[in-house]
Amino acid sequence: MTKTAWVFPGQGSQAIGMGADMFVLPEAQAKLAQAEEILGWSVAEVCQSEDDKVSKTLYTQPCLYTVETLLVDALRSQGHTPNLVAGHSLGEYVALYAAGVFDFETGLRLVKRRAELMDGASEGVMAALMGFDRTELEQKIQETSDVVLANDNNPGQVVISGTAEGVDAVLSQVKAKRAVKLNVSGAFHSPLMASAAAEFQAVLEPVAFSDAQVPVLSNVEPIPATDAATLKERLTRQMTGSVRWREISLQLADDGVERVVEVGPGNVLTGLIKRTCSGLALTNVNSLAALDALEQS
C-alpha cells in the first residue's frame, strides 16, 4: 500500500469561491451551521463574497479551517486515510483535526481566537524572497536585529518577518530574483507576536488534546509525533516560531512517504515540495471534482 501524507495549506492559499461545491452537501450543512454559531457569520457567504472578504485574516483562517476539514471528511467518507499529516501555519490545525487530536468545534474555536489576535497585530511586516543565496541571507538576518526567518518554505523561497526597519535593511542587502512585502497585519511567526501568543496560550492551555491517530509533523518541530502533550506544546510555539516547511518536506521523504495529497485550495504546498523532494507523487484535492479524480487514479 502506498504510504501517503496529507498536507494542509495556510493563509495565502484562500480564493473566492473555495469550497462552494461542498457547501451544498447535506453532511456539510451541519458543520456550516455549527461554524456560523461559533463565528457569528457565514463561512459560505464570506467564501463567495466578490469583495474578497475571505482574504482578511479575521475571516481567512476560520474559512480555510472549515473548508479543509470538510475536504478531510469527504476523503474519509470515501475510505481514504493518511499515514502522516502536516499543515503550513494555519494548516497545522487542520492536520491535528485530521489526526483526531481534537474535534471540529474545538479546532474552530482555537482558530477563531488565533485569527482575532493575528488580525489585531499591528507591529512589524513580512516579505517573501525567491531566488537568493541562502548563506548570504542567513548571515544578513543574523546581523540584523528584530528580523527572523519566518517561513523556510524550500531552498529557493522563504519569508522573513520583523520590524519594518529590519526587514527593509535585509531586503536592501540581499540579492534576490524577487522580493515582495506581504499584505499582512503584522510580523507573524516572529518574536514580535509574543504578546498575541501569550494571550492565545491562555485559550489553548485548558483545551484537551487526544493522542494523534497518525503521526503529525509540526511547524516548529518537523519530527513525527503522536503524543497529545507533545503536539500541544509544539502548537504553543507556533505563533512566534518559524514554519520549517523545507524540513517537513525532507522528513516526508525520509519517512518513506511516496504520495503527498494537498488538501485545500490551490497547489502551494505541492509546488514547494516538488522543488525540495523529487520523486514524490503529488496530488491536489480542493473540490469534489478533484476528489472524484482521486478516486479514479
Alpha-carbon distance of 227 to 201, in angstroms, equals 19
Q: Where are the beta strands (DSSP E) in the chain?
A: 4-8, 84-87, 125-132, 147-154, 157-162, 176-181, 216-217, 259-263, 281-285
Tell me the domain boundaries of the chain: 4-121+190-296, 125-181
- 172 catalytic residue (yes or no): no
Q: What is the pLDDT of residue 297?
A: 63
Tell me the sheet residues that pair with 176.
132
Cell numbers linked to 114:
488565533
Exactly one of 89, 190, 218, 249 is catalytic; name it: 89
Exactly one of 88, 189, 242, 249 is catalytic; name it: 189
For 134-160, how does the pLDDT look when each residue is reduced to its tens digit (9 = 90+)?
Answer: 999 999 999 998 999 999 999 999 999
- 287 catalytic residue (yes or no): no
Q: What is the pLDDT along the chain (297 residues), one digit of tens a residue?
A: 789 999 999 999 999 999 999 998 888 999 999 999 999 999 999 999 999 999 999 999 999 999 999 999 999 999 999 999 999 999 999 999 999 999 999 999 999 999 999 999 878 999 999 999 999 999 999 999 899 999 999 999 999 999 999 999 999 999 999 999 998 889 999 999 999 999 999 999 999 999 999 999 999 999 999 999 999 999 999 999 999 999 999 999 999 999 999 999 989 999 999 999 988 999 999 988 888 777 766
Closest CA to 104 of 55, 71, 60: 71
At the top level of CATH, which class does the domain 125-181 belong to?
A: alpha beta
Burial class (CB in 10 A: 0-12, 13-18, 19+), 86: buried
Alpha-carbon distance of 132 to 134, in angstroms, equals 6
Closest CA to 192 of 170, 223, 160, 231: 160
Tell me the sheet residues that pair with 151.
159, 243
Q: Could you please state the CATH topology (level 3) that the domain comprising 4-121+190-296 is classified under.
A: Malonyl-Coenzyme A Acyl Carrier Protein; domain 2 (3.40.366)
